[in-house]
Structure 1
Amino acid sequence: MKNSFDEIPQSFINKWQNIVDLLAKIFGIPAALIMKVENDYMKVFISSKSENNPYHIGCREHWNGLYCETVIKSQNKLKVANALKDEKWDKNPDIKLGMISYFGFPLNFPNGEPFGTICVLDRNENSYSEEYEQLLMQFKSVVELDLAMIQSLNITHDISENELVDQLLFQNKKLTESEKRFRTLAEIAVDSIILFEGQKLVFASRRFCEYVGIEPENVDKLTANDVISHIHPDDIEHYGREMQESLAQQKKHYTIEFRMLNPEGNYEWLQNNTTATYDSSGKVLQRIVQVRDITKQVELENELKKLNADKDQFIRILGHDLRTPFNSLIGFSGLLLESLHEYDLQQIEEQVKIINQTSLKTYELLEQILLWVKSQSGQLELTIEQFDFQQESTSVVQAIENIAVKKGIQIDIIETEKKCLLADLNIFRTVLRNLISNAIKFTSPDGHISISAEKKEQSILIAVSDNGIGMDEKVMDKLWEIKNDYTSKGTNGETGTGFGLKLCKELVERHGGKIWAESVPGKGSKFIFSLPV
C-alpha cells in the first residue's frame, strides 16, 4: 500500500512539526508522530522534538504487527494503555524502543486514500483521557484539511473539479463540527479553589486571594463587591445573571466564563466550575468553586476560528472563483475543437485570445493564493533591497497599461524628488500592480489615475489615486479582512474575487507597514500604503 501524493509543501511540514511538538508537551510523553505510508513500510514523516524521543524522521519499519498498521487497515483509532499486559501487543516492535503505550488515529486524503497516522507513544502505562482524545482528534482534522488543500492544488490528478470541491467542503464541515465539541485542556496555572457555606465565603486559595488583593487569613472579610470590582465591566452582568439563574434552577454543576483583573493589572479569562448542594427547600447549602485560568485556551480557540475562517475563504476561492475560469476554458476550447475545420483564421484567433486571457487571469489568481498561503504560514521570506520608485513604478504600469488604454484611462507617476525604497521588490510590484489594476477597474472610461510617493517621518507613503466611482464607509470596512466575502463589478462590468486587496494588506503588514483607503462616492478613491524607511 502507498499513497499517491509524495510532495508536501515545506510550510505544511513546519506547521505539522509544531502540532506534534505541542502534543508531546501537553500529553507529557516522549514521542508524538505523523507517520506516512510507503508501500509496505511505515515511515516517520514528522517527529516531535521532545526529550528521549527514539523516533527519527526518515526511519522506516516494515509492516509486521505495527500499531500504525492496525490503525490504517481498520481505519479506526487505536489505544493501547500497556502493551506488556496485552497479549495482542506484547511482541510489538516498538517495545524494543521502550514504548509500551500507544494512541493513534488514521490520516486520509479526501477520497479515503490513506496518508498515514497521527499518534503518541509513551514509555509508561497511559490510558489517555477523553480530553486528550478530543485534542488528538482536533489535530487529526487540521492535518486532513491540510491534505485536502495540498491535493486540490495538484490539478492534474485523476479527479473531477466538482468532486474535489465537494470533498474540500466536506472536510471543512468535519473540522467545523469538531471544533464545536473541542475544548482545550492545557492547564497553565494551578486552579484556585473557593468554598462557600451558604452565602458566606469561608475559604479561598492563595492564588484567588492574590487576584482580589486580600490576605488568605482575611478571606472572611471579602465581600461580593470586592470580587465584582475585579471582573471586567463587560462581563459583570453576564456573570451575575448566569450565577443567579443556575442557583434558581438548583443546578448541581454549572460553569461561567469571564474576564478578571490579575495582580499584574491585565485581564485574564477565567472559568468557574461550580458544584452546589441544596436543602429540601432549594436553599443553597454549599458551593465549591474551581477557578481555572483559560486565557491560553481562549486565545487558541480564537486562533483556530480565524484559521478556519481563512480556510473557508481559501476553499471558497477554489470552489467558485477558479471554477468559473475553468468552465470558460473548457467551454471555449471545446467549441474551438468542435468547429476547428469550420472557423476561418480570424475566428480561431479570437477564440485563442479568449482562452489565453482567461488562462493568464487564472494563473495570476493561483499565484496570489499561493503567496497568501505562504505568508499566512510564516514561510514568506523577504528579500530587502534598494530600488528606484520611479523606475519600478514605470515597469509595473507598462505591464498592465494595455488594460487602461482600452478604457482610455491615463496613468501618471508623480515624483517631486527622486526616492529610493527599501523593500522586497517582487512584493512591492505585486502590491502596486494590484492597486493599479483595482483603480483601472473602478475608473470610468477617459478617467485618470496617479501614482505618487511621499516621505513622512519614518515612512514612505505610496498612493494610487483615481477619479472613479469611489466608495462609502460600509464598503471600505469590508475591503481588507479575509473573512469578508465582498466584491463588486467595475465600470465596464469587470469581475474579480476581491482577493487582491486582502493579499496587499497581508504583504504590506509583513513589511511592517500599513495600508488604508480614502474615498468619496462619485469622486474617486485613494489607496495608500506605507513602507518603513
Structure 2
Amino acid sequence: MHLIMNEENKFNYHSVFNEIVDSVFITDGNSAKIIDVNKSGCHLLGYSKEEIIGNNLYSFIEDNLSTDFPKSPSEIKMFGSVLLNKKIKTKSGDLIPVDMTLNTFTDETGNFVMTSLRDVSERVRYENKILEINDELIKSNTSKDKFFSIIAHDLKNPISAIISISEIVTNKKEEVPEEELNEFTGMIKSLSEHTYELLENLLNWSRIQTNKIEVSKSNYNLSEQINKIIKILSPTASLKNISIKNSINVDEIIFADSEMINTVIRNLVSNSIKFSMYNSVITVSSKSDDGNWYISVTDEGIGMEENYIKDLFKIDVHTSRYGTNKEKGTGLGLVLCNEFIMLHKGSIKIVSELNKGTEFTIQLPKENL
C-alpha cells in the first residue's frame, strides 16, 4: 500500500477508507503519530479529524493499559497483531471497550501501522450479564445444597430422636422410673422446640430465596417485643442459669417489620444462650441517632476469632459450632438474620473477644416514625 497516490487513487482510497465500519487509524510506524483516520474513528473518539491527526494513538488509550501495546512494527510482528478487551478514551471522558487489530505495511516513504478498533461495548455487556447469571446459578445451587443438607441431617435427626424417645415413653412407661420419664418428656419438649425453630428458619429463608417475602413496616414498641422474646427463651436460658436483661426504654418505638425483627432478635438471643457460660448475663439494649436505631445483644460467652466472624453470614461456608452445653446448630439462623436486616437496608455489626463475649448490633435506618 502506498501513501503517495495520484488524485484518482487518492479519491478511491478515501471513499473506501471512510466507509469502513470499524474505526481505522493510520499511524507512523516509529512515532505512533496518527496520519489518517476514517469517519468511524472520529465518531468513536468524539473528535474531528483535524483534532485527531498528529496525536500519538496511545494517548487515547487508558493509561494503565498503554504499556501493553507494541510500539513498533517489529514489536507487532513479535507479540501478535490482535489485542482484546482494551479501552479507549473519548473526548467526553468515557472509556469504551474495544478490540484492536494492528497491521503493518511499508512503502518508499517509511513504515506504517494500520490500527482497527471495534467497539465491543455490547459484547462486554452480554459477557458481564453471563457472568452475573453464572454467579446467581452458583449461589442458587449452593443454597439448594445447604437446604437439602439441613433437611437430610439437622431436621431428620431431632425428629428421629423424638420418635425414639416417644416410643420408650409410650410402650415402656411402666418399666421406666418416673424421674427418667420426666427427663424423657423434657428431652421431647427441647427437641421439638429446636426442630420448630429450625423449620421456621428454613421456611423464612426459602421465602427470601424465591422472593416471596415482603417487608411490612409499622410503628411498634420494641421493649414489649423484647419482653415476649425473653419469656419464650427464659426456660432454655435457665438450664445454664443465664439471665436475660431487657435494657431498652419502655417507651422505645421503632418503625420496622415486627415479625422479621422478632425473628432476628430471637435468633441472636438464642445464639447467645447457646454460646454463653453458665451463670452469665445476656443484655438486649438500644440507642439511636438522627438517622438510625441500634439494637444490641451482648453476652459473656466464648467469643469468636476475627477470621470466623467474616464467614458467619455466608451460606456456602460451614460456621456451625457446638455450644457450651454441646448444643448443635446449623448456622442458618444468622444467615437469615442478615437477610432480614438487609431487606430493611440495614446491617449487623459483630464485635467479639475470645472467652470474653460477643456483641451483635443491628443498625436500622429511621423512616416514617
Same fold at TM > 0.5: yes
Q: Which moved more, 1:333-342 or 1:426-435?
A: 333-342
Mapping 1:69-218, distance limit 5 Å: 193-195=23-25, 199=29, 200=32, 202-203=36-37, 205-210=41-46, 214-218=47-51
Distance 1:488 1:227, change over 3 A: farther
The 8 Å contact of residues 470 and 520 in structure 1, kept in 2 or not, is answered as yes
CA contact (8 A) 1:192 1:208 kept: no
Structure 1 residues 477 and 341 mapped into 2: Cα distance closer, same or farther (>3 Å)?
Answer: closer
Distance 1:469 1:499, change over 3 A: same
Alpha-carbon shift at residue 287 of structure 1 (Å): 4.5
Equivalences for residues 257-276 of structure 1 within 5 A: 257=85, 270=97, 272-275=98-101
1:382 equivalent among 215, 227, 244: 215
CA distance in 1 between partners of 2:75 and 2:277 (Å): 60
| Higher alpha-carbon deviation: 438-447 or 285-294 | 285-294
* 1:144-165 Cα deviation digits (max 9, x unpaired): xxxxxxxxxxxxxxxxxxxxxx
2:149 corresponds in structure 1 to 320
Matched, 1:227 2:55: no
User: Which residue in the other structure is 1:136 paired with?
Assistant: none
Shift of 1:389: 1.4
What secondary structure, in the 3-state scheme, does the structure 1 residue paired with 2:207 have? helix
What is the aligned partner in structure 2 of residue 248 from structure 1?
78
Letter in 2 for 1:467: E
Please tell me whether the aligned partners of residues 274 and 325 of structure 2 are also in contact (alpha carbons under 8 angstroms).
Answer: yes
Whether the 8 Å CA contact 1:192–1:206 is kept in 2: the answer is no
In structure 2, do the counterparts of structure 1 residues 465 and 306 end up closer, same or farther at CA, with 3 Å as the change threshold? farther
Larger radius of gyration: 2
Partner of 1:292: 120
Any idea what SS the aligned residue of 2:120 has? strand
Contact 2:244 2:281 (8 Å CA) reproduced: yes
Per the alignment, residue 253 of structure 2 pairs with 420
Number of equivalenced pairs: 329
Q: Hey, what does 1:454 align to over in structure 2?
A: 287
Alpha-carbon distance, 1:457 to partner: 1.4
Shift of 1:332: 5.8
1:72-129 CA-to-partner distances (Å, cap 9, x unmatched) read: xxxxxxxxxxxxxxxxxxxxxxxxxxxxxxxxxxxxxxxxxxxxxxxxxxxxxxxxxx
- Identify the structure with bigger relative contact order (alpha carbons < 8 Å, sequence gap 6+): 2
Structure 1 distance, partners of 2:349, 2:219, is 24
Mapped contact 2:44–2:90 kept (Cα < 8 A): no
**Superposition TM-score, scaled by structure 1 size:** 0.53
Q: What is the rounded CA distance, in whole Å, between the counterparts of 2:91 and 2:233 in structure 1?
A: 58
Contact 1:461 1:531 in 2 (8 A): yes
Q: Does 1:478 align with 2:306?
A: no
Give 3-state SS (helix, strand or coil) of 2:279's partner: coil
Secondary structure in 1 matching 2:153: helix
Taking a change above 3 Å as real, the CA distance of residues 292 and 445 of structure 1, as seen in their structure-2 partners, is same
The C-alpha deviation readout for 1:381-408, integer Å capped at 9, x for no partner, is: 2221111111111111211222211111
Alpha-carbon distance change, 286 to 477 in structure 1, aligned in 2, over 3 angstroms:
same
Choose which of 399, 414, 417 in structure 1 pairs with 2:232: 399
% identity of equivalent residues: 21
Offset, 1:425: 0.8
Q: Conserved in 1, the CA contact under 8 Å of 2:338 and 2:347?
A: yes
The alpha-carbon distance between structure 1 residues 262 and 288, as it changes in their structure 2 partners (threshold 3 A), is closer
The letter for the 1-side match of 2:200 is E
> Is 1:340–1:348's contact at 8 Å kept on the other side of the alignment?
no
Matched position secondary structure for 2:208: helix
Equivalent-residue separation in structure 2 for 1:263 and 1:217 (angstroms): 14
CA–CA distance in structure 2, aligned partners of residues 488 and 473 of structure 1: 15
Is 1:437 equivalent to 2:279 in the alignment? no
CA distance in 1, matches of 2:160, 2:191: 11
Task: Determine the C-alpha separation between the residues in 2 that align with 1:412 and 1:388.
Answer: 17
Q: Which amino acid aligns with 1:374?
A: R
The one of 297, 310, 314 equivalent to 2:139 is 310
1:370–1:336 distance in 2 versus 1, CA, 3 Å = closer
Secondary structure of the equivalent of 1:205? helix
TM-aligned CA deviation for residue 290 of structure 1:
1.5
CA shift for structure 1 position 221:
2.8
Unmatched 5+ stretches in structure 1: 1-190
* Contact 1:518–1:525 (Cα < 8 Å) also in 2: yes
Equivalence for 1:531: 364
Q: Secondary structure at the match of 1:289?
A: strand
Q: Distance in 1 between matches of 2:265 and 2:66?
A: 48
CA contact (8 A) 2:86 2:99 kept: no
Aligned partner of 2:335 in structure 1 is 502
Partner amino acid for 2:248? Answer: E
Alpha carbons of structure 1 residues 342 and 298: separation in structure 2 relative to 1, 3 Å? same
Letter paired with 1:248:
M
Query: d(CA) in 2 for partners of 1:262 and 1:449?
Result: 60
Contact 2:286 2:293 in 1 (8 A): yes
Preserved contact between residue 276 and residue 284 of structure 1 (Cα < 8 Å):
no
Task: Quote how far apart the aligned CAs of 1:459 are.
Answer: 1.5
Kindly indicate whether residue 196 of structure 2 is the aligned counterpart of residue 368 of structure 1: no
Counterparts in 2 of 1:420 and 1:342: CA distance versus 1, 3 Å? closer
By how many angstroms is 1:432 displaced? 0.7
| Counterpart residue identity of residue 129, structure 2 | L
Instruction: Name stretches of at least 5 consecutive residues in structure 2 with no aligned partner.
Output: 1-20, 106-110
Partner Cα separation in structure 2 for residue 303 and residue 333 of structure 1: 45
- TM (normalized to structure 2)? 0.73
How well do the aligned residues superpose, as a CA RMSD in angstroms? 3.8
Once residues 264 and 380 of structure 1 are traced to their aligned partners in structure 2, the CA distance between those partners, rounded to angstroms, is 44
CA distance in 2, matches of 1:193, 1:301: 27
Return the alpha-carbon distance in structure 1 between the equivalents of residues 93 and 45 of structure 2.
Answer: 15
Letter aligned with residue 126 of structure 2? Q
